[in-house]
Structure 1
Amino acid sequence: MTVVPTLPGIHLAFDLLGWLAGAGLGAALYRWRLRPLVERTARAVGPGYVLALVTGAVTGAWLSGSLNTLLSTSPSLSHSVLGALAGAVVGVEVYKLARGVRGSTGGVFTGSLALGIAIGRLGCLFQGLSDRTYGTPTRLPWGIDLGDHIVRHPVQVYEALAMLGFVAVYVAALARRAPWALRRSFYVLCIWYGAQRFAWEFLKPYPTLAGPFNLFHLICLGLIVYGGVMYGRDVRQERRGGAPFQEGGAVSVPRPDHEPV
């Protein structure tokens, strides 16, 4: 058992660190491999794209987090990074549908988002019990004590390690110029994040909605289905020779011959 030192309010510092680290990684990946992808994305989307993304993320974060806590014995307003991701997906996909844009536009955020989530989860850990993201009791030797003398699953660490592992695999795939990393990485991120988070939700004391599943289980399933469907659709489009982005049936955007997509 490990006793974890906690400090109320420390989560904000980790959130800021996560944003800075994610931005730094994003800038490095842009200079290294993602410049063509970022430029194609910028040409495909309009000025309303960011507004749709932010609106969806904020709405999804607070709606899902608050609904989950309002179902508990001590209801309160809250927010969730899972809900933010799902809300951003909905907001962006509605925006793309309205503008006639097809293809993934989230690949420019993949590395930054994954790293930011990993660091943010450590903030949840050191925030302690007040963060309400702690795990259920366990007898495993790596259990943690957050100050209430109950040994719990370190679910925050599980998720942080899972997302750091994703970052490592993603960067290695970019080094090989793997098509999925250059073209469909956001869909893979949705599948991976949804799958690993689905597993950890069984180790949290959240109220259930359907059998053993809580609200976040259902959101995770939605992300997995979304990522899988969109990944398969993009693979079929790639095999037909489709461009990464198409808007209103426009001609394919030219790209350097040496840059696989």
Structure 2
Amino acid sequence: MNTNRLFPFQFKLFGDYYHYHYIFETLAFIIGVRLYYYLKKGIKDPISDENRLWIMLGAMLGALIGSRIIAVLETPATLNQITFFTLYQSKTIVGGLLGGLFGVELIKKIIGVKIASGDLYVIPIIAALFIGRIGCFSMGIDEPTYGIPTNFFTGMDLGDGIKRHPIMLYEMSFLILLLLLFRLIKRKDMLNGDRFKLLMVLYFLFRFLVEFIKPYQPLFLHLSSIHWSALFIFLYYYKFISRTLNVAFIEKGKEYG
């Protein structure tokens, strides 16, 4: 079968063609929210429902802004040509997570919440990311999430006749591994907030590495805005990373001691 005819996946409505991506984006949001409320049932939440709503609002507003800022910085050569329309159309999940983090921390300071609030969102975020990435994959090269040309066995023709790294399939596979990981540590005794921090560190580590097999534009020091976002997260959570590595090595040392 000629894959040039497969990508992008589109549907026809009233004589016009539309990307399935928009449907998957909407599904990702709806399912993510519903999954959050489902998992919240039966859990004694130390944060009140009202404050949870404020925190979610902060996350959404932060994600809205952050996703667009990081996205436009992915193409620094066109920064002087930005219009409101291009800014609105541009978005990246890395910026969404980064902006959402800032939005949550700001709202928590305003309303006086000092308790970590992210653990409840881990599974909904993974599920929403996975669904959204199906939409990204369906767009082929119409969405700037494809990889560089490759002769590796995973290479796929995403619509331009060139075998490329199917970055979205890589990410979907990684998200499944993350889901299995959090399933395994579900009953593990961890500090409040550590599960969310673990998600952020691992996801941004994946995005940092996979960025090197994408046709990115350097922002500074040969690194893209995605790279710098990941480095910021590593710095922001350096205490968690250091503590986690220390515990891992201590436990490993005891096994062989």
TM-score bracket, normalised by the shorter chain, equals: 0.7 to 0.9
Which one of 90, 93, 103 corresponds to residue 102 of structure 2? 90
- Taking structure 2 as the reference length, the TM-score comes to 0.78
Structure 1 residues 152 and 181: alpha-carbon distance in aligned structure 2, compared to 1, 3 A threshold: farther
Which one of 48, 62, 67 corresponds to residue 61 of structure 1? 67
Q: Deviations over 1:192-239 (max 9, x none)?
A: 1110111111111110123331111000111233234357789xxxxx
Structure 2 equivalent of residue 7 of structure 1: 9
Structure 1 equivalent of residue 230 of structure 2: 220
- Taking structure 1 as the reference length, the TM-score comes to 0.77
Shift of residue 70, structure 1, vs aligned partner: 4.8
Distance (Å, rounded) in 2 between the aligned partners of 1:119 and 1:181: 29
Instruction: Report if aligned partners of 2:8, 2:142 keep a CA contact under 8 Å in 1.
Output: no
Q: Deviations over 1:134-160 (max 9, x none)?
A: 111111011011111111011111111
Structure 1 equivalent of residue 113 of structure 2: 101
Distance (Å, rounded) in 2 between the aligned partners of 1:161 and 1:210: 30
Shift of residue 183, structure 1, vs aligned partner: 4.3
Distance (Å, rounded) in 2 between the aligned partners of 1:229 and 1:161: 28
Which one of 152, 161, 177 corresponds to residue 165 of structure 1? 177
Distance (Å, rounded) in 1 between the aligned partners of 2:53 and 2:181: 32
Structure 1 counterpart of 2:201, which letter? I
Structure 2 equivalent of residue 45 of structure 1: 51
Alignment partner of 1:229 is 2:239: yes
Shift of residue 27, structure 1, vs aligned partner: 4.0
Structure 2 counterpart of 1:148, which letter? D
DSSP-derived class of the 1:166 partner? helix
Distance (Å, rounded) in 2 between the aligned partners of 1:95 and 1:69: 30
Structure 2 equivalent of residue 111 of structure 1: 123
Counterparts of 1:104-143 in structure 2, within 5 Å, are 104-143=116-155
Alignment partner of 1:81 is 2:93: yes
Structure 2 counterpart of 1:92, which letter? V
Which one of 35, 39, 64 corresponds to residue 29 of structure 1? 39
Alignment partner of 1:144 is 2:156: yes
List gaps (5 residues or longer) in structure 1: 235-261
DSSP-derived class of the 2:47 partner? helix
List gaps (5 residues or longer) in structure 2: 11-18, 245-257
Shift of residue 169, structure 1, vs aligned partner: 1.2
Shift of residue 20, structure 1, vs aligned partner: 3.8
Distance (Å, rounded) in 2 between the aligned partners of 1:11 and 1:27: 25
Instruction: Report if aligned partners of 1:134, 1:154 keep a CA contact under 8 Å in 2.
Output: yes
Structure 1 equivalent of residue 14 of structure 2: none
Structure 1 residues 228 and 164: alpha-carbon distance in aligned structure 2, compared to 1, 3 A threshold: farther
- % identical aligned pairs: 27
CA RMSD, Structure 1 to Structure 2 (Å) = 2.9
Count of aligned pairs between the two proteins? 228
Distance (Å, rounded) in 1 between the aligned partners of 2:159 and 2:68: 27
Instruction: Report if aligned partners of 1:115, 1:164 keep a CA contact under 8 Å in 2.
Output: no
Shift of residue 67, structure 1, vs aligned partner: 2.4
Structure 1 residues 46 and 24: alpha-carbon distance in aligned structure 2, compared to 1, 3 A threshold: closer
Structure 2 counterpart of 1:35, which letter? I
Q: Deviations over 1:227-261 (max 9, x none)?
A: 34357789xxxxxxxxxxxxxxxxxxxxxxxxxxx
Runs of 4+ in 1 over 6 A off after TM superposition: 231-234
Distance (Å, rounded) in 2 between the aligned partners of 1:130 and 1:5: 8
Shift of residue 69, structure 1, vs aligned partner: 3.2
